C-alpha cells in the first residue's frame, strides 16, 4: 500500500517537472518571438508563466516530504488546470504547462479538457486518501 503511495508521489512530481519544463519553454518562445518580430512583449503572459513556474517549483520542493496541506494545494493546482475556455471575446485558462486532452467546439468557443491534469488529480486523490488512512491507523474510535 505504501509502495504505491511513493510511486504516485513520484508520478505527481514528474508531472510537475514536465509542467515546469513546458512553462520555461513557453517563456523562452515568448521572448524569442519578441526578439525576432520586434513585437511588444506580452508582459501579463510572462508574469503569469513565471508565477506558474514558481508555484510548480514550490510544490515539487514540498512534495519531497509530503504533508496533507501540500497534497491539497497540489490538488487545487491541478483542479484549476482541467478546463480552458477560448472564444473571440475572451480566453480563460489556468493551464500553462503540458497538456494532453480533448478540444470541443461549441459555437465560436473552444473548450479544452486536460486529461493529464485529470489523471494527476485522480492520483493526488488516492495519495490524500492513503495519507489520511495512514494517519488514522491506530486511533481508537469514539463509538459506544
Note if the pTM is more than 0.85.
no
User: Which helix (H) or strand (E) segment is 15 a member of?
Assistant: helix 2-37
Spatial CA neighbour of 48 closest among 96, 109, 118? 96
Q: Quote the mean pLDDT of the chain.
A: 80
Question: Domain for residue 67, yes or no?
Answer: yes
pLDDT tens per residue across span 5-48: 678 888 889 888 988 888 888 888 878 877 777 666 677 778 88
In a domain, residue 124? The reply is yes
pLDDT (mean) for 107-134: 84
In a domain, 142, yes or no: no
Q: How confident is the model at residue 57 (pLDDT cuts 50, 70, 90)?
A: very high
Across 77-105, average pLDDT: 77
Tell me if 76 sits within 8 A of 104, measured CB to CB.
no
The CA angle 14-96-30, to the nearest 5 degrees, is 115
In a domain, 87, yes or no: yes
Q: Which range marks the domain in which residue 120 is found?
A: 2-136
Percent of residues, the chain, with pLDDT higher than 70:
82
Residue 141 covered by a domain: no
pLDDT at residue 40 in the model: 67
For residue 143, is it within any domain? Answer: no
Return d(Cα 27, Cα 11) in angstroms, integer: 24
Task: Assess if residue 30 is contained within a domain.
Answer: yes
With beta carbons less than 8 A apart as the criterion, state whether 75 and 122 touch.
no
Q: Is residue 126 part of a domain?
A: yes
Burial class (CB in 10 A: 0-12, 13-18, 19+), 47: exposed
| Range of weakest confidence among 8-12, 80-84, 91-95, 140-144 | 140-144
| CB 83 within 8 Å of CB 111 | yes
Number of domains the chain contains: 1
Residue-wise pLDDT tens digits, 105-118 = 888 888 888 888 88
pLDDT at 143 over 70: no
Choose between 39 and 51: higher pLDDT: 51
Amino acid at each position: 500500500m505504501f509502495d504505491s503511495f511513493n510511486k504516485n508521489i513520484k508520478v505527481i512530481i514528474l508531472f510537475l517537472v514536465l509542467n515546469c519544463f513546458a512553462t520555461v519553454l513557453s517563456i523562452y518562445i515568448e521572448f524569442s518571438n519578441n526578439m525576432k518580430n520586434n513585437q511588444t512583449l506580452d508582459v501579463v503572459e510572462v508574469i503569469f508563466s513565471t508565477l506558474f513556474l514558481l508555484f510548480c517549483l514550490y510544490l515539487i520542493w514540498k512534495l519531497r516530504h509530503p504533508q496533507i496541506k501540500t497534497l491539497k494545494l497540489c490538488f487545487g493546482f491541478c483542479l484549476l488546470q482541467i478546463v480552458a475556455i477560448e472564444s473571440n471575446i475572451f480566453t480563460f485558462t489556468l493551464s500553462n504547462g503540458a497538456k494532453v486532452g480533448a478540444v470541443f467546439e461549441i459555437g465560436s468557443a473552444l473548450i479544452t479538457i486536460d486529461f493529464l491534469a485529470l489523471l494527476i488529480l485522480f492520483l493526488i486523490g488516492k495519495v490524500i486518501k492513503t495519507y489520511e488512512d495512514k494517519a488514522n491507523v491506530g486511533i481508537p474510535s469514539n463509538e459506544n
